[in-house]
Amino acid sequence: IRDEESGYNKNLFCIPKHYEEDLERVFIPHGLILDRTERLARDIMQDMGSHHIVALCVLKGGYKFFADLLDHIKALNQNGDKSVPITVDFVKIKSYC
């Protein structure tokens, strides 16, 4: 996304009522994020080949993205010609503040 990107009008999306006053524009639509997450899963599977995958999630903020990414990786793993072992773990990191 370029710095000068103006985003999308929020009226094009279903915005929860409690966010309407706080939100001015949508810069990245949810569908685009899902598509890019699936592409990232495909890239990971291709780059890792048949090597064991160790997936590490930084807790709190990264959980939803991590879960979506793993769902795509698992689907590729099940539908592919080879099965790659995956280990999942979580870490909690203190803020730099």
pLDDT of residue 55: 93
Residue 75 placed within a domain: yes
| CATH number of the domain bearing residue 33 | 3.40.50.2020
**pLDDT > 70 in the chain, percent:** 97
Digit-coded pLDDT (tens) for 35-65: 999 999 999 999 988 899 999 998 877 888 9
CA–CA–CA angle 65, 16, 24 (5° rounding): 90
Contact between residue 63 and residue 57 where contact means Cβ atoms under 8 Å apart: yes
Establish if 69 belongs to a structural domain: yes
The reply to whether 12 falls in a domain is yes
Whether residue 2 is contained in a domain is answered as: no
> Does a structural domain hold residue 72?
yes
Taking 90 as the threshold, does the pLDDT of residue 1 lie above it? Answer: no
Query: 60 is in which domain, residue-wise?
Result: 8-92
Q: pTM to 2 decimals?
A: 0.72
| Structural domains counted in the chain | 1
